[in-house]
Structure 1
Amino acid sequence: MDTNEPGWELYRSLLGVLDEGSLSGAARALGIAQPTVGRHVAALEKALGQALFTRSQAGLTPTEAALELRPHLQTLSATAAAIKRASSGTRDAVAGTVRITASEVVGVEVLPPILARLAENHPGLAVELVLSNQVQDLLRREADIAVRMTTPRQESLIARRVAGIVVGLHAHRGYLDRHGTPRTDDELQQHRIIGYDKETAYIRAMSKSLGPMRRDRFSLRTDSDLAQLAAIRAGHGIGICQVGIARRDKQLVRVMPRRYSWTLDTWVTMHEDLRHSARCKAVFDALVEGLGRYAPSDSVTR
């Protein structure tokens, strides 16, 4: 193995190739020339003393060694991004970059007016918004602040429960006009139901309260909450929607509210190391206040 310590740019190029699947894709994503990416990978293979890809006419296939490096590279990348965000503003100024992660529906339907108000109050702030139903790791600094629908379990986090967001069955008024409004589970089974594709631990935990809301009964199956919401709005059938979202749309009608109602605890969390960052505190407080207005609830500090 080469005694020279490989620089971050070599690891960055390797992660780019792993993510994009090719030298050209990595070059486009990183904004550098393709030959440069190739040189970086070759230099890293020499430094580590092992092949990272097998090369064929079909392209590059990562070796086991490269795949083992991937989680470490992702941690390096997240740390480098966090360092860049930290250096984007001074500690006491509400300016610079803050990275927020939230679910698809919350990011698209709930956060935009909150972030717009935040931008008016603090024009020096730049927000990076990551929409994913996967939980981003705040300890690895994949994001600065997270809006989560599950109770945080990790230590070293500042977490505040801000709301209990109620979800229930909804349908477009036009669909109900054409097909009628179900009043019982037997009637509900006669309707087109929009639901999940893959069963999750959360769905299994609430299975007893789902009634006929089972995968084999769904006429449209998707794990995208946004796709489910779009289908409800298009009049495809009956599906699960946040009550706060439906309340803003007169065409969405809640169905069987006494039978189907679930509450999602909503938390705003950030790493405790950021508690003294003025920009992170401003964003954290804005999210707590805005989400509290969206779904009023007694806040509980942890």
Structure 2
Amino acid sequence: MAKRDVSAGRSLQWSLLRAFLAVVETGSLSAASHRVSATQPTLSRQIRELESILGTPLFVRGARGLDPTEAALRLVDDARAMAAAADAITLKALGQSTTLSGTVRLTSSVMVANMWLPRILAELRIAEPDIQIELIPSDLNQNLLRRDADIAIRMADPTQDALIARKLGEAPVGLYGAQSYIARRGRPTTMNELITHDVIGFDRSEVILKLYAAAGHSVAREAFPIRCDDQMVGWGLLMAGAGLGFAQVMLGEREETLERLDFDLVPPMPVWLVMHEEVRSSARIRRVADFLAASLKRLL
């Protein structure tokens, strides 16, 4: 009797390849589950099903997680092509929406999400009660091509192709100190004085190190006695008088307890509203984008 092919009659569903690609690109079931919004047991089952259909193992457990086998690596390019095609179909379908209802995913930096958007989104809820907003605060750029978000507010020039970007203005940045800190340590007026002060720095980011170097003072990260990459935490430290800190001028000028120092180290940050070209014909996404653009222009 001929041996029966175990994969006979079983279709290679996109959901299986989607799970496979997520595990390849993240290296673990836990990270992949966050990417595709599925549980780890579901992903594990999908990987086993795909291995059964293909008749070959796709992953081996390594020191840092799941390592793809040679067979898996040969599938990656084709799986990514299918992912791009699926994303394109989704984006085009979204673009056909003509109703002012449904969900719009919006992403911005953590600082913008906390300090700029609450009032704007409250006004949007009144204006468009049938539109729901999913807000993604993140200092990492979400992938609009993969539909991690429909609209992004970014502080850097967009680089991805197939994106529609509107520059809304610029947000100046200044160096500030709480009155309590200045009363305790004094007000620096030169770079030589500034490097002797407590300045709130970043942990992993080298942005402030590069600003100092551009001003002629190369320092190590240890020059900043408190370091944190979360800008909202940095804002709280600044307000508490833990050190001097860089802040958006529009925010710093609102606070009576903060004083701006006479240092011009940071160029203004461009503010862009970005979305994929395929979704701009969606009535709800276009409405949210236009509302955000008008509100942010007034704010800036």
- TM (norm. structure 2) is 0.79
Contact 1:98–1:279 (CA under 8 A) maintained in structure 2: yes
**Cα displacement (A) at 1:73:** 6.7
What do residues 31-51 of structure 1 show as CA deviations (whole Å, max 9, x unaligned)? 6693x5443221111223332
Q: 1:135 aligns to what? A: 141
Give SS of 1:262's match: coil
Pair 188,32 (structure 1): closer, same or farther in 2 beyond 3 Å: closer
Q: 2:12 aligns to what? A: 6
Q: 1:48 aligns to what? A: 54
Contact 1:195–1:213 (CA under 8 A) maintained in structure 2: no
Percentage identity across paired residues of the two chains: 33
Distance in 2 (CA, whole Å) between partners of 1:233 and 1:126 is 33
What do residues 198-243 of structure 1 show as CA deviations (whole Å, max 9, x unaligned)? 3558964884147477524211223322232222122210111111
Distance in 1 (CA, whole Å) between partners of 2:128 and 2:205 is 41
**Cα displacement (A) at 1:157:** 2.3
Contact 2:60–2:69 (CA under 8 A) maintained in structure 1: no
**Cα displacement (A) at 1:281:** 1.1
Q: 2:132 aligns to what? A: 126
Q: How does 1:131-280 map to 2 (within 5 A)?
A: 131-200=137-206, 204=210, 207-209=213-215, 211=217, 215-257=221-263, 259-280=264-285
Q: 1:281 aligns to what? A: 286
- The one-letter code matched in structure 2 to 1:284 is A
Distance in 2 (CA, whole Å) between partners of 1:172 and 1:37 is 50
Pair 279,63 (structure 1): closer, same or farther in 2 beyond 3 Å: same
- The one-letter code matched in structure 2 to 1:276 is S
Give SS of 1:289's match: helix
Distance in 1 (CA, whole Å) between partners of 2:102 and 2:12 is 30
- Unaligned 5+ runs, structure 1: 296-302
- Unaligned 5+ runs, structure 2: none
Distance in 2 (CA, whole Å) between partners of 1:127 and 1:78 is 26
Distance in 1 (CA, whole Å) between partners of 2:48 and 2:185 is 63
Q: 2:90 aligns to what? A: 83
Pair 46,228 (structure 1): closer, same or farther in 2 beyond 3 Å: same
Contact 1:168–1:262 (CA under 8 A) maintained in structure 2: no
**Cα displacement (A) at 1:127:** 1.4
Q: Does the alignment pair 1:290 with 2:275? A: no
**Cα displacement (A) at 1:267:** 0.8
Q: 1:62 aligns to what? A: 67
Contact 2:87–2:146 (CA under 8 A) maintained in structure 1: no
- The one-letter code matched in structure 2 to 1:63 is P
- The one-letter code matched in structure 1 to 2:238 is I
Q: Does the alignment pair 1:114 with 2:120? A: yes
Distance in 1 (CA, whole Å) between partners of 2:142 and 2:220 is 28
Q: How does 1:29-44 map to 2 (within 5 A)?
A: 34=41, 36-44=42-50
Contact 2:91–2:279 (CA under 8 A) maintained in structure 1: no
Distance in 2 (CA, whole Å) between partners of 1:70 and 1:218 is 44
Contact 1:22–1:59 (CA under 8 A) maintained in structure 2: no
Q: 2:109 aligns to what? A: 103
What do residues 233-278 of structure 1 show as CA deviations (whole Å, max 9, x unaligned)? 2221011111112223222221224x33420111111112222211
Query: Which sits farther off after the overlay, 208-217 or 40-49?
Result: 208-217
- The one-letter code matched in structure 2 to 1:227 is V
Distance in 1 (CA, whole Å) between partners of 2:77 and 2:297 is 38
Pair 60,81 (structure 1): closer, same or farther in 2 beyond 3 Å: farther
- TM (norm. structure 1) is 0.78
Q: How does 1:19-30 map to 2 (within 5 A)?
A: 21-22=28-29, 26=33
Give SS of 2:170's match: strand
What do residues 110-161 of structure 1 show as CA deviations (whole Å, max 9, x unaligned)? 1221111111111111112222222223233332111111122333322111
Distance in 1 (CA, whole Å) between partners of 2:265 and 2:12 is 57
